[in-house]
Chains A and B, each alone.
Chain A
Amino acid sequence: SQQGEEDPQALSIQEGENATMNCSYKTSINNLQWYRQNSGRGLVHLILIRSNEREKHSGRLRVTLDTSKKSSSLLITASRAADTASYFCATGSYNFNKFYFGSGTKLNVKP
């Protein structure tokens, strides 16, 4: 399976701390994307990093991609209680027809 796998499965931190989540995958990819899901809702796209990029920033989010290790990390800086959610990585195929999701990291940010 090409499925991405997130690590850790669950993470609990205090507000203001940084949160780091990792994703590993198995095959070559066109891009890797991170999504957030609040409890019982649909997924919201956060950031996309292409296979020829190594790092990308969006606000308090920083994503890195290491294609040699087939891994990516998502860093949320200065976390807030509103960041409490599940975070998923998804690998995108070259024809944009398929995406493979991991089972997610559940982040709890305590106020």
Chain B
Amino acid sequence: DVKVTQSSRYLVKRTGEKVFLECVQDMDHENMFWYRQDPGLGLRLIYFSYDVKMKEKGDIPEGYSVSREKKERFSLILESASTNQTSMYLCASSFETQYFGPGTRLLVL
């Protein structure tokens, strides 16, 4: 059974903190993605990676960075968290179909 896991389901951070969101997949997929989901806005792509150490910006990369040191792991980093980054963060991996993790609901105070 395919599996994408995310490090936390819920996270509360303070403005200015550095935040790490981790995602691990066990399907040997080359492509991995980070989205954020906000009411009325659907899913918006932050970054994706098509290979180890390779990354490309999505539609809303500002304020975020990513790291992919190993094929199975894709990390999203908020360098200095701000209140407008309060959101649901979804990780996915894919070959043709996307498989999603359960999501991390991040609250930045």
Contacts and interface: CB of A to CB of B under 8 A. Distances in A.
B64 interface: no
Nearest to B58: A98
Contacts of B105: 40
Interface string A95-106: 011111111100
A106 to B, nearest CB: 10
A79 B103 CA distance: 26
Nearest to A31: B96
Contacts, number: 55
Please tell me the size bucket of the interface on A: 20 to 34
B98 A33 contact: yes
Dominant secondary structure of chain A at its interface with chain B: strand
A40 B56 CA distance: 27
Interface in A9-39: 31, 33, 35
Contacts of A103: 40-42
